[in-house]
Amino acid sequence: MSKQKHHKGWNEIKTNDSWAIFKIMGEFVTGYEKLSVIGPCVSIFGSARTKPDAPYYQHAVTTARRLAEAGYGVITGGGPGIMEAGNRGASEAGGTSVGLNIDLPFEQHNNPFIDSDKSLDFDYFFVRKVMFVKYSQGFVVMPGGFGTLDELFEAMTLIQTEKIGRFPIVLYGSEYWSGLIDWIQNTMLSAGNISPSDLDLFRLVDTPEEVVTIIDSFYKGHQLSPNF
């Protein structure tokens, strides 16, 4: 009897998994339809916990403003902190401001600086990550936590393995990122787990002007288009 109940519960789980495919497909379809028309954009990543009076919040606002003035829209994760700063800078400069929000039990809520027709909500991190990679012409990675690192290493892995074409990845804040870069160079590279050329996948900067220069310089020789 207990085995029958166990088997019945297992079958119900499998059935629910099958139906979840349609919800996943729905998120992909909505994302593709809304983002395919936004034009060239740069994603800004960073901590949701960064307060508006923090220096990196202000750096993110200025970076987004400079990117918008250079003709790029800005995509963020749609939440508070650095994400809000990115959308704020783009909005204040009159640029495209996109928010890809994720439903979380803490931290996350839509910030008020996203264009009303460019705010998307996701239940699945992996669908959201596809949208970031597909519709961004560059990543600007401000100081952040696990989620920020996840996006950073996802993009570098896809470029390294040639699953997508190369695009600029810019780490902002040498004070914050230098320890990680030292570890990549002195431990990861020394162990032979990456190639020396993999260090060229990212650039380290400390000013908004450097961000725009790197991205503009890259696209003098590359076409602006979706990444895969």
Residue pLDDT tens, the chain, 228 long: 455 555 555 555 556 788 889 999 999 999 999 999 999 999 999 999 999 999 999 999 999 999 999 999 999 999 999 999 999 999 999 999 999 999 877 656 789 999 999 999 999 999 999 999 999 999 999 999 999 999 999 999 999 999 999 999 999 999 999 999 999 999 999 999 999 999 999 999 999 999 999 999 999 977 766 555
81: left (phi over 0), alpha (psi -120 to 50) or beta: left
Backbone φ and ψ of 132, nearest 5°: -60, -50
Spatial distance between the Cα atoms of 147 and 125, rounded to a whole number of angstroms: 10
Quote the pLDDT of residue 15. 64
Quote the pLDDT of residue 225. 67
Quote the pLDDT of residue 8. 53
In three-state secondary structure terms, 142 is coil
Instruction: Report yes or no: 157 and 97 within 8 Å, Cβ to Cβ.
Output: no
Query: Alpha-carbon Rg of the chain, whole angstroms?
Result: 19
Q: Which amino acid is at 131?
A: M
Spatial distance between the Cα atoms of 49 and 83, rounded to a whole number of angstroms: 10
- DSSP lists the bridge partners of residue 98 as 75
Quote the pLDDT of residue 222. 74
Quote the pLDDT of residue 120. 96
- DSSP lists the bridge partners of residue 62 as none
Quote the pLDDT of residue 138. 97
Centre a 10 Å sphere on the Cβ of residue 218 and count the other Cβ atoms it contains. Answer: 17
Quote the pLDDT of residue 226. 58
Backbone φ and ψ of 37, nearest 5°: -115, 10
Structure tokens that stand for 27 in this block:
């998120």
Contacts of 219 (CB under 8 A, 6+ apart): 137
Spatial distance between the Cα atoms of 14 and 17, rounded to a whole number of angstroms: 5
Cα-based angle 210, 51, 177 (whole degrees, multiple of 5): 40
Quote the pLDDT of residue 12. 57
Quote the pLDDT of residue 5. 52
Quote the pLDDT of residue 19. 85
Domain ranges (residues) in the chain: 2-218
Q: Distance between terminal CA atoms of the chain?
A: 51
Instruction: Report yes or no: 34 and 99 within 8 Å, Cβ to Cβ.
Output: no
CATH number of 2-218: 3.40.50.450
